[in-house]
């Protein structure tokens, strides 16, 4: 199944007949509002600017989320290492991704940007029932946290001379990442078929781990490997939007 095609069809069906495409746990009115909001956002013609880099897992998550919500982005490749003025003005932390709205307002980080997309689209990204919301946000938080730990290990090697690297810290961070992946490996089968923020966070972060640590995490997490392969097949846009060197 092509999940992207299905999600688009759902939004079209909602406008014609809201009851026929109602999301689990949502009322007919909520589903209709969700679809109308998404249609209005797509029809507005407003293109938001995204400061990003291709390897960034968090930028990948944002781009996947925007694609799912039919929101247009003007992509602005940004080198955080050179601290360009536009980035620092938009985000004093000097981190990406940063979303710049048509009025100049900046939105960061990736979780906040995705929540903004969710509100703009009428909740196409984040489930609204308590149980589904908790599953989605917990998954997003855990995989993002695992990636942050793995990034600390990467940065230790990238930015410190070999004689200054602190191996115990690198081992500790990698251990944290592996514990989180092990939990997710046992839970990934419970994710719903319809993609939400959990799917996009998981796909983007696992894509980054494959890019930077290919061969180091897959052996102990076969369910995550299988899930990523199946997601890539069912969501063709991932091939273009995944983290790349």
pLDDT in tens, 218-237: 999 999 999 999 999 999 99
Q: What is the pLDDT of residues 180-204, one digit of tens each?
A: 999 999 999 999 999 999 999 999 9
Phi-psi region of 187 (alpha: psi -120 to 50; beta: other; left: phi over 0): alpha
End-to-end Cα separation, the chain, in angstroms: 29
Q: Tokens at residue 139, please?
A: 């998954």
pLDDT tens for residues 81-91?
999 999 999 99
Query: Model confidence at 9, in pLDDT bands (50, 70, 90)?
Result: very low
pLDDT at 19 over 90: no
The sign of the torsion formed by the CA atoms of 66, 113, 118, 243 equals positive
pLDDT > 90: percent of the chain: 81
This model's pTM is above 0.75: yes
Average of per-residue pLDDT values in the chain: 87
pLDDT at 47: 86
Pairing mode of beta strands 48-52, 73-77: parallel
- Please give the backbone phi and psi of residue 221, each rounded to the nearest 5 degrees, phi first: -135, 60
Q: Where are the alpha helices (DSSP H) in the chain?
A: 3-16, 28-43, 57-68, 85-90, 110-121, 130-159, 167-187, 197-213, 222-234, 238-241
């Amino acid at each position: 199944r092509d999940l992207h095609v299905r999600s688009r069809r759902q939004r079209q069906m909602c406008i014609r007949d809201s009851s026929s495409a109602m999301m689990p746990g949502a009322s007919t009115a909520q589903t209709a509002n969700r679809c109308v909001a998404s249609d209005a956002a797509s029809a507005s013609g407003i293109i938001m600017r995204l400061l990003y880099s291709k390897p960034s897992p968090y930028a990948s998550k944002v781009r996947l989320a925007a694609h799912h919500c039919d929101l247009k982005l003007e992509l602005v490749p940004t080198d955080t290492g050179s601290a360009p003025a536009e980035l620092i003005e938009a985000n004093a932390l000097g981190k990406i991704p940063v979303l710049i709205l048509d009025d100049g307002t900046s939105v960061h980080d990736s979780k906040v940007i995705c929540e903004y997309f969710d509100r703009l689209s009428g909740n196409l990204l984040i489930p609204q029932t308590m149980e589904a919301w908790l599953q989605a946000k917990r998954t997003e938080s855990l995989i993002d946290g695992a990636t942050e730990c793995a990034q600390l290990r990467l940065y230790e090697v990238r930015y410190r001379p070999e004689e200054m690297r602190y191996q115990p810290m690198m081992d500790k961070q990698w251990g944290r990442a592996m514990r989180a992946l092990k939990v997710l490996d046992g839970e990934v089968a419970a994710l719903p078929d319809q993609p939400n923020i959990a799917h996009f966070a998981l796909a983007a972060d696992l894509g980054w781990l494959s890019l930077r640590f290919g061969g180091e995490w897959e052996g102990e997490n076969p369910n995550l490997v299988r899930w990523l392969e199946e997601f890539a097949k069912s969501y063709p846009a991932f091939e273009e939007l995944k983290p790349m060197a």
